[in-house]
Amino acid sequence: MADAGAGSLPGGDSALPPPLPPPPPEEQELSQRLRRLYPAVNQAETPLPRAWSPKDKYNYIGLSQGNLRVHYKGHGKNHKDAASVRATHPIPAACGIYYFEVKIVSKGRDGYMGIGLSAQGVNMNRLPGWDKHSYGYHGDDGHSFCSSGTGQPYGPTFTTGDVIGCCVNLINNTCFYTKNGHSLGIAFTDLPANLYPTVGLQTPGEIVDANFGQQPFVFDIEDYMREWRAKIQGTIKRFPIGDRLGEWQAMLQNMVSSYLVHHGYCATATAFARVTESTIQEEQISIKNRQRIQKLVLAGRVGEAIEATQQLYPGLLEHNPNLLFMLKCRQFVEMVNGTDSEVRCFSARSPKSQDSYPDSPNLSPRHGSNNLHIHSTGADSPSCSNGVASLKNKQSHSKYPALSSSSSSSSSSSPSSVNYSESNSTDSTKSQQHSSTSNQETSDSEMEMEAEHYPNGVLENSATRIMNGTYKHEEILQTDDSSMEDGCPQRQLCGGNHAATERMIQFGRELQNLSEQLGREYGKNTTHKKMLQDAFSLLAYSDPWNCPVGQQLDPIQREPVCAALNSAILESQNLPKQPPLLLALGQASECLRLMARVGLGSCSFARVDDYLH
């Protein structure tokens, strides 16, 4: 067997590593509670404390029970025998408000215990609060210690059975404690950033358990968080606008209008412009052309979208080889899905878009209205104008002719033919009555598609391989009676049609050749290599829809491709490739991330999502 190349695949299902076991229920519960309490925290960048650190402690400290229980194992003769331990991670500023609790399992001999906070590097041979950048509440006398060996009267003493909570407010940089669910008031102010939860013990027999979210807290911290969230949101709402109100309103109206135009909501944009007495920068015919191309991509009919782009915007794809390659890789994926016209025309039955399956997820809101249906004006039996037979008659608009879409641009009777200049009402939600010879008015949310269901599945025993860009396609074309169970058809590769599968294999070879040609012209491209490998990897599994790379077949994966093509078209027309509204939202989100990095805790209660309804 030849060595595997850039377009080759690893072994099939048998080569897959065993799946990782799911985390235990208690770990899942902890993760859910932390996400609910601290939704603004990116735990990949700034992990939350979840346990005590076995490395950041004095040697008189012992840990057990998942590093949540702390016990003292020193001599306990005097203050020189004090010992502390820090949590695994500092408190992220994006928490806004952070809280943990410590239960006193046993006060030991004297109950010399301290609960609090400390910075990285503070001496662990001390109780929290005794040194600079260290803060603690001590159980033997109820005093608070703020970077000093001299305490101040603060609260009651605590002993065996008590639950002491420590709340850090990263908005105003204060800290308060709770005892058995009741707040004791502010203990410290002007706290620095990046403090660690810390606990210290000093005499034999002292044992405490930490709760970083493993269990529900005794104190109602979520109610306290709601109070501060309301304060921050009130501050935002009271931001002074003054005499610039009209200027801001006009700016917002332009942002909304440009957003509607960007996504092709022509009728809505026109109505909005009429109400606000504003103008639309792009011609309606251009908006509708982009809308139709987007709908083709979102329906999985990428080949037709490529041809439409070449007809309406000559030279665009030729001057954007990366975009062309992305589209062609997506077209290959849709051929596997059985939705692209390159393989649909071989079937006696017309397929529906993959997004018409009951189990398919809905598109995201920005494309939600594009759950479309393309009107068919042809006869019941679809023609093969989009198949290989018409390749000789096609006029290529691309410098990469081997991969040009084979759709016939002149076939008005093809089920997939589209009139790219017809006027339509794009926001209507009702289908219009029509005859077989009349043009169909379309809407933002609905276009009629072929009514027949298409059995979209795989051949159960196909052990496909792609070696150096070549296919063992005899294995792909094997039929298997197991593809029918209980009389119900399963999804099949290219709809189960042999000729369509042959065309997909041919297309894959052409795609490999295009990758090599682009590599020669522009140099190696790791992104292209990854796209090609992911697309070809679908054929390595008996069930592409349920394999490690099967997420490519999800209709929602069409959206980034659609967005990239739409942006390129706009840019070619000297229009903004991104709507200002999305840029403004992105800037606001990035500002909040920067606030978190510099320790401004209010960012946690000023999330952009809270203002998007």
Alpha-carbon distance 367 to 563, whole Å?
10
Report the range out of 11-20, 384-393, 415-424, 591-600 with the highest average pLDDT.
Answer: 591-600
Nearest CA to 559 out of 417, 368, 426 is that of 368
Task: State how far the Cα of 191 lies from the Cα of 193, in Å rounded to an integer.
Answer: 7
Q: What is the pLDDT of residue 19?
A: 60
Selection from 113-117, 279-283, 500-504, 522-526 with the highest mean pLDDT = 113-117
What band does 18 get if pLDDT is binned at 50, 70 and 90?
low
Q: Is 359 or 545 the better-scoring residue by pLDDT?
A: 545
Distance, in Å, from the CA atom of 464 to the CA atom of 11, rounded to the nearest integer, reads 9
Question: What pLDDT is attached to residue 613?
Answer: 60
Has residue 274 got a pLDDT over 70?
A: yes
Q: What is the pTM of this model?
A: 0.60
The chain-wide mean pLDDT, for the chain, equals 77
pLDDT at 2: 39
Residue keyed to tokens 């603690």: 136
Which residue type, as a one-letter code, is found at position 326?
M
Lowest mean pLDDT among 151-160, 187-196, 282-291, 445-454: 445-454
Confidence label for 159 from pLDDT (cuts 50, 70 and 90): very high
Mean pLDDT of 356-366: 33
Residue 402: pLDDT above 90?
no
Q: If we measure between CA atoms, which residue out of 57, 77, 78 comes closest to residue 69?
A: 57
Name 567's Cβ contacts closer than 8 Å, sequence gap at least 6: 577, 578
Q: Is the predicted pLDDT of residue 347 greater than 70, yes or no?
A: no
Asked whether residue 457 carries a pLDDT value surpassing 60, the answer given is no
What is the percentage of the chain residues whose pLDDT exceeds 70? 73
End-to-end CA distance of the chain: 57
Cα gap 581→587, rounded to integer Å: 10
For position 12, what pLDDT does the model report? 40
Average pLDDT over residues 290-295: 93
Radius of gyration of the chain (CA): 32
| CA neighbours closer than 13 Å in the CB half-sphere of residue 233 | 12
Tell me the mean pLDDT in the region 71-78: 91
The residue among 442 and 284 whose pLDDT is bigger is 284
Lowest mean pLDDT among 5-14, 61-70, 333-342, 397-406: 5-14
What is the tens place of the pLDDT at every residue in 86-124?
999 999 999 999 999 999 999 999 999 999 999 999 999
- Give CA separation, 254 vs 10, 123, 322, in Å: 51, 58, 32
Tokens 């979520």: give the residue: 222
Please state which of the ranges 20-24, 309-313, 401-405, 457-461 shows the lowest mean pLDDT. Answer: 457-461
Structure confidence by residue, pLDDT tens digits, 415-451: 333 333 333 333 333 333 333 333 333 444 433 333 2
Cα 222 from Cα 219, distance rounded (Å): 9
CA dist 357 → 297, 301, 607 (Å): 17, 16, 34
pLDDT in tens, 235-248: 888 888 777 777 88
Secondary structure E strands in 129-223: 134-138, 143-146, 152-153, 163-169, 174-179, 182-188, 195-201, 206-211
Residue that wins the pLDDT comparison between 24 and 108: 108
